[in-house]
Amino acid sequence: MRRIKKLLGPLAAALATGGPAAHQPPLARGFLTIGGTTYIDPHGSYPLAHHLDGSATLIINDTDHYLTIVTERDCCDPPRPTPRHAPAPAHTPGRDLVLAPGERAETWRGDSVRVG
């Protein structure tokens, strides 16, 4: 019992004095809007739901962090309407879509939105 107290003593002291906490990614400040849902001070990943009618999903980055549209299944995207204009370079297959703070984009691709 004495050995356990000796081993756990520094841990108990650190917890009692407010020692280092578990590492968590920093929260983004601001708002993340995906479609019709707005998240306040987001962190981590958020699902990207696509519309059944094939229309694009609007993503608005009103945070102080970069956002990445995570695409895991480019080969299995549902069919979408043919655009009337040439697609922007960010919408070409095989490239991640990254939004800087203050940017917005419409996308047909992606599974989730990752903050940071």
Range of the structural domain that residue 54 is part of: 23-115
Residue 93 lies in a domain: yes
β-sheet bridge partners, residue 45: 114
Residue 12 lies in a domain: no
b/e 45-60 (16+ beta carbons within 10 angstroms → b): ebebebeeeeebbebb
Residue 37, pLDDT score: 92
Residue 1, pLDDT score: 54
Domain count, the chain: 1
Lowest mean pLDDT among 11-15, 26-30, 53-57: 11-15
Residue 6 lies in a domain: no
pLDDT digits (tens, 9 = 90+) for 19-40: 555 555 567 899 999 999 999 9
Residue 46, pLDDT score: 93
Q: Distance (Å, rounded) from C-alpha 13 to C-alpha 2?
A: 16
pLDDT over threshold 50, residue 12:
yes
Residue 48 lies in a domain: yes
Residue 97, pLDDT score: 85
**What band does 89 get if pLDDT is binned at 50, 70 and 90?**
very low
